[in-house]
A and B are shown apart, each in its own frame.
Chain A
């Protein structure tokens, strides 16, 4: 079973050396308390909790799974206790509004915590993750009474939350939603319908579960413009914030699934369950979307967490496992065989995992920091710019990081060889757990469409500007520094390809939306790799300055990974460019019946 060590040094490198996270506490009054010493202490504690409490439950939770019995769901052994400690530690309220009992810390810090939780135990992470999404939606769209009633309990973690969107006939296309709401005389509604795939829909961790449900009002227009959002608690809260009568909402069954088996995935039936409208009638989708953007970034963090866990497991194994001699002659003649880390192909796998994981961390944490700036920076223009950038890169982070999480988990299995395929070693679980992250919160295909269909066009490229301009300016100045050339020149090439591809998309996609659809996935990956190249340039620049000093090995390793990335990963952008600009013709030629 792979051990997990929270990568605190790596995290601190991104936070302080790359992102200068301390500027948040200096420039954004809301985060005045988030000084480096406070952040470090939190990360340290979070690391310990993940290493000592969550990671040990990961394999057992997967083996045991959740139990369903007559509407009740029991989580695997140890989960309830771990969750209690999680609540006791105050972790659910970390990024939450102090007005409702939260600690008001930057989302950036929560991103780091989420990464560690997902490395240690993705299934466990689902429960607080969903609660946080639920909290965000009520915080943004609930009325004062709803906020006062639900938020404090969600912040403490005493109650948990869900997002009830999917129905049997309606997945990606939420316009097909059938669950209906009937008005009561007292202003509340009764919900009727069935939701499926509801994560944390029913469990034994909390005394109450707060469902957020998409449903239609009787006078709703057809399609996506007729969806409203409702809050529907499992137990009706009493006036003093206690738990009252049981509502008519019940878990019908739990799904048997490929991975995240310790996460309870439920069919939830609403049989006239009492609920209250959140936000305005028929505006449920926009309410959902404010929450969804944060949730999509959070899923990206799941991908990152899995990739980190897979890398750690693979490295340990590659150093221990003795097989064959190096093709260049024995490296450890005293041992019966060399450790497999001497073999070029094993290194290829390890470095691919590492180079993409480190840059992905840089990219996603950058978005975490921009989220904080977007929420609380005193300058409205800076807030707007940050909001644009996050909107643009959210689909990139979600899709690329989860694709990478799955790829890295697979590479991890490969490094382990046959043992990777054996459950006991824990590597195949990572593959199975990672797989869902590419699907939920909008499949990665949908992310790509979001990027090309919505984000690029917004404000005639205004969102794009928030990324393209800083990168372009960086390349212009950095290319004048000789030591940086080996990083900046390949990045400039990839960036030029990305610009051309973007211009191509703007023209071809405007004339024919199918062209945009055909190019979307390749374009997103081209975008992501270019963004990672930019991250690697900036990380290499820092490492170059620190060469030969303290922690020389740490920075040398950064440069080595950066070089590997530029030489052996970034060139993929060339083929992506060629593929996507080849157009839709070969995709659309075959008639459906010929498949």
Chain B
């Protein structure tokens, strides 16, 4: 059964977010809420929610146009529209009676065999539907999304005793392929998988910080990156999700869990937080939380609360040796002698022990639990991966030495040598039966990590590697710091093109880093510029241009398969690919002007080509130049693959994959398809560009921006250089300009800008502060 139309009932934060993600998948969705008590518009609540979706940051919608797929309505007048809907998501308030009366209200209108799911996080499935008709019980599942639904990858799914397997499968498959979620088959246990462990962790982390007398800065300095959690740590996370949510979560967990559950002893009342909630300090959405921003004249000062007195003081960077030492591994952290080390041990010893006691209660296998924590809480490693990092045997012994009971599963892992192992290049996990089982990937999932585990690279240097991903297709992986492109990367791109040309069929450019590539390594370029090594830098520009040109004109298809940021030089390589299969969460942009430069590796040229008029577009030399100028000079970054198409950074024909795990498979399939269709490399194109008249026109626009204060002094210089390149230099519309000639202009302008003080200052500022300099 395929889901082609959906409905979400409840247009709150979660409901509207889920509707947005369904729309992001290109699926029409009804968004219904109650009729407001007053006001003429009976669908005002859902309409208001759509307005909010369009304004929210980070954006729940991948493209403004996706909002058109969301039809607002109310549950009094629009229930008949449910007759076409294959999946109804209930995301209303966490009150049993409200939910149940809604189900009854829907039942007569539902399409036969449609699926109904609840987004509840606290009410057990059996409680929700125990009094419902059989017809609903057959079609009922829980789909538990995480906030915000677009960005959090976890989706916990479970059915009841009477749920049709097809219903569960349909929703799971839709969640996986269309919504891009990591599907965790959960059980009907309190908090399901991720919250069961996550809520325990948050309680443990807060209480240990109080017991050991850590400041909020110190606690967050340990409970963030050092343990592999997001850098918000614990108190920063509470601020982010809202303090006021916590008492409700605690109450429901306390009531639902058995009296002997470890949660009952780890949890505690937190009087300071209760006072804060009462006074409106509910976190970032309120007056502030454990941190707040105070205005001090023009600048904002970050303040932190004193956990003992409740007074705020200017935030101080935590100085804990253990936080730095954690780079050496989790074990170094938890055995460190300072209070950060004690704190890490106090929390992790409880957390990991608890997690080990929950399998198989909450999930049949440990890999599922780890995946849930990685995707639901954005941890780098799940609890069992953390235990393996510590060493299961070491951890079990240390618990025993502290007279703490060692859960049977941990004992088993300690004996067997860990929760995971690699056998013949295959990752395996320890089952509750004491045997290791291969970690199976779903059909259509191809992970580079698995390939790397099982094989050796064809080519490799410090910044990139080339892998054989089967069927004659190779995968070029970047792996330098932040996947920045440096001379080594370029060298490997060049060699990869040569290798594939000689002995393989197609090339996919893809990696599993957080970001595809943040662009050229500007640290290297800046240092070289600062010591005036001009020929070296010019050579680097030339190398990049030649390499990307080789990508473009390769006799085989090169498919770009990005996810995350693809900026600057990372965007430019994609512009040169025969086709791109992009993860929906791809953020492309030519951002060079932010550091006072222009794209130098063919980005200007490719954007001119992308913007050449189609049959229906206005003719003349200026429109493509103006369009490319706007995109580059404003350093526009697409906030999704869909937006990248709007900016013409992706072609209309390029593919989008919602689930990141499916990206490489899809990219490979695209390559094979292009081969099957008889791939021919493109012919170099000739351009007609306006020359100096175009420059004049663009200058006028920039001067206007400058007068309005929208362009900074150095923007004028950079824009002038860009205008000259895009206009083709000393040419006119009657003369033909080749791609190579535009690249020469790019190089010349790039080198000239690199010699200016303000450009060097912008680069330095970006590298040292991570923020653009406005000069």
Q: Chain A interface (Cβ within 8 Å of chain B)?
A: 221, 381, 459-462, 464-465, 468-469, 471-472, 499, 502-503, 506
| Nearest chain A CB to B298 CB, angstrom units | 19
Could you tell me if B531 and A459 are in contact, using CB atoms closer than 8 angstroms?
A: no
* Residues in A neighbouring B764, C-beta threshold 8 A: 459-460, 462
Question: Which of these binds chain A: B123-131, B358-366, B520-528, B710-718?
Answer: B520-528
A499 and B532 within 8 A (CB):
yes
Closest residue of chain A to B536 (Cβ to Cβ) is A503
Bound-complex Cα distance A464 to B763 (A): 15
Q: How far is the CA of A464 from the CA of B764 in the complex (A)?
A: 13
Bound Cα distance from A381 to B527, whole angstroms: 20
Q: Chain A residues near B528 (CB, 8 Å)? A: 503
Identify which of residues 740-775 in chain B touch chain A, using a CB-to-CB cut-off of 8 Å.
Answer: 757, 760, 763-764, 767-768
Q: A465-B760, A506-B527 are in contact. Are A460 and B532 (CB under 8 A)?
A: no
Closest 3 CB pairs of A and B: A461-B530, A472-B532, A465-B530
Kindly state the separation between the CA atoms of A123 and B96 in the bound complex, as whole angstroms.
91
Interface residue? B533 (CB, 8 A)? yes
8 additional A-B pairs beyond A381-B757, A461-B530, beta carbons within 8 Å, are A460-B523, A460-B527, A464-B531, A472-B534, A499-B532, A503-B527, A503-B528, A503-B531
Query: How far does the alpha carbon of A469 sit from the alpha carbon of B526 in the complex, in Å?
Result: 13
Q: How far is the CA of A472 from the CA of B319 in the complex (A)?
A: 43
B residues 507-548 in Cβ contact with A at 8 Å: 523, 526-534, 536
Chain B residue total in the interface (Cβ 8 A): 18
- CB nearest to B767 among chain A residues: A460
23 A–B contacts from the bound complex (CB under 8 Å)? A460-B527, A460-B764, A460-B767, A460-B768, A461-B531, A462-B530, A462-B760, A462-B764, A464-B531, A465-B531, A465-B532, A468-B530, A468-B531, A468-B532, A469-B530, A471-B532, A472-B532, A499-B531, A499-B532, A502-B531, A503-B528, A503-B531, A503-B533
For residue B533, which residue of chain A has the nearest CB? A499
Q: Roughly how many angstroms separate A557 CA and B498 CA in the complex, as a whole number?
A: 61
| Shortest Cβ gap from A580 to chain B (Å) | 15
Chain A neighbourhood of B534, CB < 8 A: 472
Q: Please, how many angstroms separate the alpha-carbon atoms of A506 and B763 in the complex? A: 17
On chain A, the residues within 8 Å of B760 by CB distance are: 462, 465
- In the complex, A459→B769 CA distance in Å? 10
- In the complex, what distance in Å separates the CA atom of A503 from the CA atom of B528? 7
A566, B566: Cα distance in complex, Å:
50
Bound-state CA distance A221–B527 (Å) is 35
Digit string of B139-166 for contact with A (CB within 8 Å is 1, else 0)?
Answer: 0000000000000000000000000000
- Residues from chain A with a CB closer than 8 A to the CB of B767 are 460
Which of B319, B527, B531, B760 has most chain A Cβ within 10 Å? B531
**Smallest beta-carbon distance A89→chain B, Å:** 43
Which B residues are within 8 Å of any A CB, using their own CB? 319, 523, 526-534, 536, 757, 760, 763-764, 767-768
A464 to B757, CA, bound (A): 13
The number of A-B residue pairs with CB atoms under 8 Å apart is 46
A464–B533 alpha-carbon span in the complex (Å): 12
Q: Which residues of A contact B529 (CB under 8 A)?
A: 461, 465
Pair B533/A460 contact, Cβ less than 8 Å: no
Give the shortest distance, in Å, between B618 (CB) and chain A (any CB).
45
CA A468 – CA B528 in complex, angstroms?
A: 10
Q: Which residue in chain A gives the minimum CB-CB distance to B757? A: A381
CB distance from B3 to the nearest CB of A (A): 52
Chain B interface SS verdict (over half): helix
Q: Collect the chain B residues with CB atoms within 8 Å of residue A471's CB.
A: 532
**Inside 8 A of B532's CB, which chain A residues have their CB?**
465, 468-469, 471-472, 499
Docked-complex contact A461 and B533, CB < 8 angstroms: no
> Which residues of chain A come closer than 8 Å to B768, judged between CB atoms?
459-460
Question: What residues on A are CB-neighbors of B527 within 8 Å?
Answer: 460-461, 464, 503, 506
Contacts of A381 in B (CB 8 A): 757
> Considering only CB atoms, which chain A residue lies closest to B522 in the complex?
A460
In chain A, what residue has the closest Cβ to B755? Answer: A469
The distance in angstroms between the C-alpha atoms of A502 and B533, with both chains bound, is 10
CA distance A459 to B526 in the complex (A): 9
What separation, in Å, do the CA atoms of A506 and B319 have in the docked complex?
Answer: 28
Q: How far, in Å, is B339 (CB) from chain A's closest CB?
A: 14
Complex: A80 Cα to B768 Cα, angstroms = 53
Residue among B526, B530, B534, B768 having the largest count of chain A Cβ atoms under 10 Å:
B530
- A462 to B526 CA separation, bound complex (whole angstroms): 9
Taking CB atoms, residues of chain A closer than 8 Å to B523 are: 460
Of all chain A residues, the one with the shortest Cβ separation from B530 is A461
* Complex CA distance for A459 and B530, rounded to whole angstroms: 10
Closest CB in chain A relative to B714 CB, distance in Å? 13
Give bound CA distance, A465 to B760, whole Å: 10
Minimum Cβ distance to chain B for residue A509 (Å): 12
In the complex, how many angstroms separate the beta carbon of B672 from the nearest chain A beta carbon?
40
**A62–B442 alpha-carbon span in the complex (Å):** 88
Collect the chain B residues with CB atoms within 8 Å of residue A499's CB. Answer: 531-533
- C-alpha gap A145/B530 in the complex (Å): 43
Enumerate chain B residues within 8 angstroms of A469, measured Cβ to Cβ: 530, 532
Q: Provide the bound-state CA to CA distance between A461 and B529, in Å.
A: 9
**Residue of A221, A381, A460, A471 with highest tally of chain B CB at under 10 A:** A460
A460–B530 CB distance below 8 A: yes
Please measure, in the bound complex, the distance between the C-alpha atom of A468 and the C-alpha atom of B757, giving whole angstroms: 13
B711 to chain A, nearest CB (A): 20
Chain B residues lying within 8 Å of A468, measured Cβ to Cβ, are: 530-532
Q: How far does the Cβ of B488 sit from chain A's closest Cβ, in whole Å?
A: 11
User: Of all chain B residues, which has the CB nearest A506?
Assistant: B527
Report the minimum CB–CB distance from A513 to chain B (whole Å). Answer: 16
**Distance A100 CA – B757 CA, assembled complex (angstroms):** 38
Q: Which of B319, B536, B757, B763 contacts A460 (CB 8 A)?
A: B763
Most buried by B among A461, A464, A502: A461
The docked-state distance in angstroms from the alpha carbon of A257 to that of B534 is 51
CB distance from B757 to the nearest CB of A (A): 8
Q: How far is the CA of A461 from the CA of B526 in the complex (A)?
A: 7
B765: nearest chain-A partner, CB-CB:
A459
Task: Tell me, in angstroms, the Cα distance from A389 to B767 when the chains sit together.
Answer: 21
Complex Cα spacing A461 to B527, Å? 5
B-chain residues with CB within 8 Å of residue A472 when the two chains form the complex: 532, 534
Q: How distant is the Cα of A221 from the Cα of B763 in the complex, in angstroms?
A: 35
For the complex, what is the distance from the CA of A445 to the CA of B763, rounded to whole Å?
Answer: 32
Enumerate chain B residues within 8 angstroms of A503, measured Cβ to Cβ. 527-528, 531, 533, 536
Q: Bound complex: CA of A270 vs CA of B49, how far in Å?
A: 73
**A residues near B533, Cβ cutoff 8 Å:** 499, 503
Measured CB to CB, the nearest residue on chain A to B758 is A381
Report how far A462 CA is from B761 CA in the complex, Å. 8
Cα A465 to Cα B768 with chains together (Å):
16
In the assembled complex, the Cα of A327 lies from the Cα of B767 at a distance in Å of 63
Chain A residue with minimal CB distance to B766?
A: A460
Chain A residue at minimum C-beta to C-beta distance from B523: A460
Once bound together, how far apart are the Cα atoms of A499 and B529, in whole Å?
Answer: 11
| Bound Cα distance A340, B757 (Å) | 53
- Bound CA span A469–B760, Å: 12
**Smallest Cβ distance from B592 to chain A, in angstroms?**
17
Q: Which residues of B contact A221 (CB under 8 A)?
A: 319
Closest to A381 in B: B757
Residues of B within 8 Å of A459, CB to CB, are 764, 768
Complex CA–CA separation, A472 to B531 (angstroms): 9
List, in ascending order, chain B residues with CB within 8 A of A502's CB: 531
Shortest Cβ distance from residue B525 to the other chain A in the assembled complex, whole angstroms:
10
A465 and B761 alpha carbons, distance in the complex (Å): 11
Bound CA–CA A370/B767 (angstroms)? 27
**How distant is the Cα of A342 from the Cα of B757 in the complex, in angstroms?**
52
Q: How far is the CA of A461 from the CA of B768 in the complex (A)?
A: 11
| Nearest opposing residue in chain B for A459, CB measure | B764
In the assembled complex, the Cα of A468 lies from the Cα of B755 at a distance in Å of 12
Chain A residues, CB < 8 A from B319: 221
Closest to A501 in B: B531
> Bound state CA distance, A502 and B319, in angstroms?
33
List, in ascending order, chain A residues with CB within 8 A of B536's CB.
Answer: 503
A464 to B532, CA, bound (A): 9
User: Closest CB of chain B to A155's CB: distance in Å?
Assistant: 37
| Closest A residue, CB atoms, query B528 | A503
